[in-house]
Every structure is written in structure tokens, then in C-alpha cells.
Amino acid sequence: GLAQYGALSGSFEDLIVVGVETKDRRAELTWRSTDHAEIRDYPTNGEAAAFRKFLVDEVKPLIEANYRTSGEDALMGESLAGLFVAESFLKGPATADRYIAISPSLWWDFGSLGKEARKILDNFPKGERKFYLAIADEKGAMRDGVLAIVAALKKERPKGVGWTFSDRPDLTHATIYHREALEALVWTFPRPKAE
């Protein structure tokens, strides 16, 4: 798919794509909600920290032991996986070097991640990171959460963090991923210019 396109076109750096299947995405991609309706509807929610630990402690070492890697890595996800990516960037910034969150479900837990973003970024650890954030035509708490993170990034300007925001009202939640994933990879993994 996209990695093959990048290799053939030279649009972005060569990369290895690792897909990790979740067993219960509402558990593995979320932190424990304080919203009683979400707790009722998704009683297994709240295992994002354990899933992140699995990625860092088991998946990354397995890939690095079996493939030639650069030591740079990224998390990429859309919707609930985008929420996981955004939370990982803000609350677990050592998880990866680059983060791509496409239409993240920032309505989760009363939109708490967007509301906390400014405070988190005020004390953000130094380090070179990239964050690509995109949203489709979503409204309400989802858009509010994304815009709150954008505002926090503008205000706090964390050192070493390169970021960009793509607002795509011309796309829907169902159509944004494939269009934005390519743009995100081009921005996040630019191919060095030939000398």
C-alpha cells in the first residue's frame, strides 16, 4: 500500500509498516473513562497504558531484532486509534519519535485529553518529535478536542516538537484516512533532498 508507493515514488523515506491487531479496541486504545455512559457501553475500556507498554516492550524490540531499522519509529492511527496516538504523544511522548493522529476520537471521556493538552504541553519533556494531526468534517466534542490540542501547541510551542494540522472539511470520517495518510507520511518522513 502506502509504504510501497513511497518506495516506488520516492515521496517519503523507506519505512516498515507494522500492523498490530487489537483484540478489544475499546479497551486497548482508551484510558479509563469517567463518563458513566462510556463505562456502561464499553465496560472493558481503559487499557491504553498496557497496550502502549506492549508496543514499546515487545513489538518494537521484536522488529528491531529481525529487521534493519533506523531506530526512528512512529505511531499512526485513525478514529479510536487516532485517540490512542494523540494520548501517546501527550502522555507517553517517549513511545515514538513521530505521531500521526487522523480524526482522533477526542470526544472520549468528556473530551478530557483536549482540555488537558495545554497543561501537559506546559511541562512537556524535551526531545525531537513530530506530530501530524488531521480532522475531517466532524463537529462537536471531536472537533473541539482537536482544536484544543492545536491551540495548546500554538501557545506552548514545546521545544523540539515539529507539528502540523490538516483541517479537511471536504472529507468525512469514513473517507479521510487514505487521503490524509499519504500526506501525513510525506510530511512526517520526508525524503532527504539529493545533493
pLDDT in tens, 90-110: 999 999 999 999 999 999 999
Give the pLDDT band (50/70/90) at residue 190: confident
What's the pTM value of the predicted model, to 2 decimals? 0.92
Q: How many CB atoms lie within 10 A of CB 153?
A: 20
CATH of 2-17+72-188, picked from 3.60.21.10, 3.40.50.920, 3.40.50.1820, 1.20.1600.10, is 3.40.50.1820
- Model confidence band, residue 16 (pLDDT cutoffs 50, 70, 90): confident
What is the C-alpha to C-alpha distance for residues 44 and 40, in angstroms, rounded to an integer? 9
Residue 192: the pLDDT is 74
Helix (H, G, I), strand (E, B) or coil at 133: strand
Residue 170 is predicted with a pLDDT of 97
Helix axes 108-122, 140-156, angle to 10 degrees: 0
- Residues 55-65: pLDDT tens digits? 999 999 999 99
Q: Is the pLDDT of residue 8 over 70?
A: no
Which ranges in the chain belong to alpha helices (H)?
A: 2-9, 25-28, 36-41, 48-54, 60-66, 80-91, 108-122, 140-156, 176-188
The least confident of 54-63, 78-87, 121-130, 168-177 is 121-130
160, 127 Cβ separation under 8 angstroms: yes
Distance CA 64, CA 140 (A): 41
Residue 99 · residue 164 · CB < 8 Å: no
- Adjacency order of strands within the sheet including 74-78: 74-78, 98-102, 129-135, 161-167
The model's pLDDT over 24-49, given as tens digits with 9 standing for 90+, comes to: 999 999 999 999 999 999 999 999 99
Model confidence at 6: pLDDT above 60: no
Percent share of the chain, pLDDT over 70: 92
Calpha distance 150→153 (Å, rounded): 5
User: Residues with Cβ < 8 Å from 40, sequence gap 6 or more?
Assistant: none
Collapsing DSSP states into helix, strand and coil, what is residue 102? strand
Give the Cα separation of 80 and 164 in Å (integer). 20
pLDDT value of residue 189: 84
Kind and range of the H or E run holding 129: strand 129-135
